[in-house]
Amino acid sequence: MAPQLTHPDIQSLLGAFALDAVDDDEASIIEIHLTECPRCRAEVVEHREAASLLSFTGTAAPEGVWSRIAAGLEETPPPFQLARPSAPVRPLAFRVMAAGAAVAAGVIGVLATQVVRDNSRIDRLASIASRHGVDQAAAAAAIAPGARKVHLSSNDGAQAVDAVVLRDGRGYLIQSHLASLGRDQTYQLWGVIGAQTISLGVLGDQPAITPFKAAGPLKALAITVEHTGGAVAPTTSPVVQGFVST
d(CA 82, CA 212): 19
Q: Which helix (H) or strand (E) holds 68?
A: helix 63-73
Q: Which residues bind another protein (CB under 8 A)?
A: 12-16, 18-23, 41, 45-62, 64-66, 68-70, 72-73, 76, 79, 88-95, 98, 115, 151, 153, 243, 245-246
CB of 27 to another protein, least distance (A): 10
CB-nearer residue toward another protein: 9 or 205: 9
CB of 76 to another protein, least distance (A): 7
Measured from the CB atom, is 64 or 100 closer to another protein?
Answer: 64
- Non-local (6+) Cβ contacts of 80 within 8 A are 192, 219, 220, 222, 238, 241, 242, 243
The answer to whether 216 and 192 have CB atoms below 8 angstroms apart is no
Residue 64 or 229: the one with the smaller Cβ distance to another protein is: 64
| Angstrom distance (rounded) from CA 211 to CA 209 | 7
N-to-C CA span, the chain:
33
Question: Distance (Å, rounded) from C-alpha 94 to C-alpha 91?
Answer: 8
Listed residue (82, 74, 131) closest to 107, CA to CA: 131
CB of 51 to another protein, least distance (A): 6
Specify the residue, 204 or 217, whose C-beta has the smaller distance to another protein. Answer: 217
* Nearer residue to another protein within complex by CB, 4 or 76: 76
Task: Please report how close the Cβ of residue 81 comes to another protein at its closest, in angstroms.
Answer: 14
| Minimum CB distance to another protein, residue 204 (Å) | 26
- Cα Rg of the chain, angstroms: 20
Q: Given the complex with another protein, which of 98 and 195 has the nearer CB atom?
A: 98
Min. distance of Cβ 54 from another protein in angstroms?
A: 6
Helix ranges (H only) for 84-146 are 103-111, 119-131, 136-142
Taking the complex as a whole, how short is the minimal distance between the CB of residue 220 and another protein, in angstroms?
Answer: 12
CB atoms within 10 A of CB 240: 26
- Choose between 14 and 139: whose C-beta lies nearer to another protein: 14
